[in-house]
Amino acid sequence: MKIRKCRREDLEDVCEIERMSFPYPYPKIIFYDYIEKLFFVAEEKEKIIGYIIADNERNLIVSIAVHPEYRNRGYGKKLMNHVLKFMKGKVFLQVRKSNKSAISFYHKMGFKEIKEIKKYYMNGEDAILMVKKIG
């Protein structure tokens, strides 16, 4: 498995994983905006099987997803640990309150729940704000 920077030509595969992973997937245009940021893909035998995006100006994990067939094999953890090497201080993220598996994953990765943000998402769902202190 290799983790490398995401390139434009990877975006179709990233969007495919996005569509399989989220009820409200980000459109491709959103991913273009992040290509110059902390945007990494995990590659297994030349197939993209996961991605992570972070924004170190906002100290935020923007998104992470692993292809459904490759979950629970440590790829998410490797992607997260990789991106955190480029960040410092308090790193934040928001997650849908209903996304229990992601919340468990983030707890395992050392993130703590700080508060709920009511009706944060377009469909009216609440977000959980989480934080991890680096260094």
Q: What does the block give as tokens for 15?
A: 């969007």
Strand ranges across the sheet with 60-66: 2-5, 38-44, 47-55, 60-66, 89-96, 127-134, 112-117
**Binding flag, residue 51, ligand COA (CB under 6 A):** no
- Part in contact with ligand COA (CB under 6 A); list of ranges 4-12, 84-92, 103-111, 121-129: 103-111
CB-count exposure of residue 93 (10 Å: 0-12, 13-18, 19+): buried
Nearer to ligand COA, 35 or 44 (CB): 44
CB-CB contact of 1 with 36 (8 Å)? no
Nearer to ligand COA, 68 or 89 (CB): 68
In sign, the C-alpha dihedral spanning 26, 130, 54, 79 is negative
**Binding flag, residue 130, ligand COA (CB under 6 A):** no
Number of C-beta neighbours around residue 96 at 10 A: 18
Residues in 3-22 that interact with ligand COA by CB under 6 A: 21
**Binding flag, residue 84, ligand COA (CB under 6 A):** no
Rounded Cα gap, residues 28 and 49, in angstroms:
17
Nearer to ligand COA, 35 or 60 (CB): 60
> Least CB distance from residue 72 to ligand COA, whole Å?
4
Which one of 23, 29, 57, 72 is in contact with ligand COA (CB under 6 A)? 72
Can you give the binding site for ligand COA, defined by CB under 6 A? Answer: 21, 64-66, 71-77, 95, 99, 101-102, 104-105, 108
